[in-house]
Amino acid sequence: MKPNGTSSNTPRNGVHRDGLYRDAPDYNGLPADQLLADEIGDVHGAAALDTPMRPDAFALDDDTKIDLIEEHFREIMNILGLDLTDDSLKGSPRRVAKMYVKEIFRGLNPDNKPAPTLFDNKFRYNEMLVEKDITVQTYCEHHFVPILGKAHVAYISSGKVIGLSKLNRIVEYYCKRPQVQERLTMQIADELKRVLETDDVAVLIDAKHLCVSTRGVQDINSSTITSSYSGKFADDATRQELLRYIG
């Protein structure tokens, strides 16, 4: 560690201080550092359903990731001119690092995916089941500020039903990673279709983006709605029934 909390680029365990492996592949033909440039800007599209991850994403254990993020966030705070000897600030780099790895981005690790609890549909219930107003708390992958809102999910059983809390857990899991709302909606829908073995699934998310309300245009009133309707929910009558339920 250099004076004032800045770090060197001395490799540790084969890892540069920027956290990238020497042989980390380029992404879409671009070097990793170029991906951090402003050229990404405010584009809100998503190129693929999967969250963009490097092949070596889990080569480091959580404790090592926390150590590295702590070091780099301390450097950011120093660059901003903050006094890290102050009692209120000196623990912030560690707190942020633990929050990133153990809390708000824990959904990046597939080991944390909830295991579904399925039951036979003994009652032969063949109408839609709707779980509404599921809390959405995720982070915009362009500015790393919160996206806050509600998710409504619905399915029609193909012979199995899922424990209700697992619907919330699936939403929460995909929220715990940097996101764009369109991808989040599709990831939840695809996971529900996979787990429930049915295409009769609907997901609707209504959320406010702090990257819109607290920076840039600073519009505090707008919200964003995304939806995914498949199977029987592609039928207008079924879709309208769902929309009546969720209001």
Please state whether beta strands 118-120 and 160-162 pair in parallel, antiparallel, or not at all (unpaired): antiparallel
Task: Please say whether the beta carbons of 190 and 49 come within 8 A.
Answer: yes
Q: What is each CA distance from 17 to 8, 21, 28, 202, in whole angstroms?
A: 7, 9, 23, 43
Per-residue pLDDT of the chain (247 residues; tens, 9 = 90+): 444 444 444 333 444 434 443 344 444 444 444 433 344 344 444 457 999 999 999 999 999 999 999 999 999 999 999 999 999 999 999 999 999 999 999 999 999 999 988 999 998 999 999 999 999 999 999 999 999 999 999 999 999 999 999 999 999 999 999 999 999 999 999 999 999 999 999 999 999 999 999 999 999 999 999 999 999 999 999 999 999 999 9
Residues with catalytic annotation?
140-143, 181, 209, 211
User: Chain-centre distance of CA 15, in angstroms?
Assistant: 25
Task: Please say whether the beta carbons of 121 and 161 come within 8 A.
Answer: yes
Give the global pTM: 0.81
